[in-house]
């Protein structure tokens, strides 16, 4: 079994419990087991570390403000080939390019407000899970 990190972003949390539940149901139907779940507002310093690889890029400050600016749902998931399977399930970063039926296609509004985050690779999953769940 492999673990990965999944986050439902602030705009979805602000939209209400129905969308959160719908997204978690999609993940569950795809064979993932939820082994950690919390709704919380992440401290700015944690978000800065979390997105550290983007430091210095034009969108970094706005991204940090956006993620730290409201509650998110943090999720630890488990299944075989979890990282790759979740990346496929969420779709392309830009919802306009995401495959039909993926989470970002269904719930994403823009490149920044793309509904969810998922670890890009196993090393990122380990780092992100450590930052978020300790």
Which residue is listed with tokens 């673990």? 3
> Do 4 and 75 contact (CB within 8 A), yes or no?
no
Q: Residue written as tokens 């196993």?
A: 122
Instruction: Report the alpha-carbon distance of residue 99 to residue 103 in Å, rounded.
Output: 9
Residue from 83, 117, 129, 132 carrying the catalytic annotation: 117
Distance separating alpha carbons of residues 74 and 40, to the nearest angstrom = 8
Strand partners for 76: 5, 36
Tokens of 35: 């082994």
Q: Is 117 a catalytic residue?
A: yes
| Residues catalogued as catalytic | 117
């Amino acid at each position: 079994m492999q673990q990965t990190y999944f986050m439902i972003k602030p705009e979805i949390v602000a939209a209400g419990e129905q969308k959160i539940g719908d997204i978690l149901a999609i993940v569950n139907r795809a064979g993932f087991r939820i082994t950690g779940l919390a709704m919380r507002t992440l401290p700015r310093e944690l978000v800065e570390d979390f997105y550290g690889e983007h430091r210095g890029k034009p969108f970094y400050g706005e991204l940090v403000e956006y993620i730290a600016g409201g509650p998110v749902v943090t999720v630890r998931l488990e299944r075989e080939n979890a990282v790759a399977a979740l990346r496929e399930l969420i779709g392309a970063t830009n919802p306009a390019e995401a495959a039909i039926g993926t989470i970002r296609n269904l719930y994403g509004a823009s490149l920044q407000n793309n509904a969810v985050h998922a670890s890009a690779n196993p090393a990122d999953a380990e780092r992100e899970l450590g930052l978020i769940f300790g």
